[in-house]
Amino acid sequence: MATRKGRKKTGGKYVKRRKKKAYEAKGQKRIVKLGEEKRKTLRIRGGNKKPVLLKSKFINVNHKKIEIKNVLETPSNRFLARQNILTKGTIVETELGKVKITNRPSQEGMINGILIKE
């Protein structure tokens, strides 16, 4: 007998014990794009504030603020590079050369990176 999703072996339904609490609910998806600086601050748990980056064109490399020229590739998803979306692991082009993003810009409110040797 093949079991169906959400059903017991006998055919009865599994009933959810409770709804999700507010702190368990997912937030809105944040996408960091290449462009003029745009930020937002969110209220997080405990009443604290979290700076969120929505758009940026600068990256911190070796304690210097450098302008991003172009998004070259994103190892996690090649379609993100086409849309100029900045995520962790994305390789961008700067005047110093190729730079890999080492942090999560959507979580931290800034972009950090390291130079890649060609």
Is residue 68, in this structure, part of any structural domain at all?
A: yes
CA distances from 61 to 5, 55, 66, 86, 114 (A): 49, 18, 7, 15, 6
- Between CA 86 and CA 54 the distance in angstroms is 10
Question: How far is it, in rounded angstroms, from Cα 100 to Cα 25?
Answer: 32
Could you tell me the residue range of the domain that residue 57 belongs to?
30-115
Q: Is residue 21 part of a domain?
A: no
Residue 1: the pLDDT is 57
* CATH of residue 106: 3.10.290.70
Residue 14 inside a domain? The answer is no
Question: Would 2 be classed as within a structural domain?
Answer: no
Residue 65 forms part of a structural domain: yes
Residues 86-115: pLDDT tens digits? 999 999 999 999 999 999 999 899 999 999
Looking at the structure of the chain, the number of domains it has is: 1
List of E strands, 4-111:
33-34, 38-43, 49-56, 58-61, 64-73, 91-94, 97-101
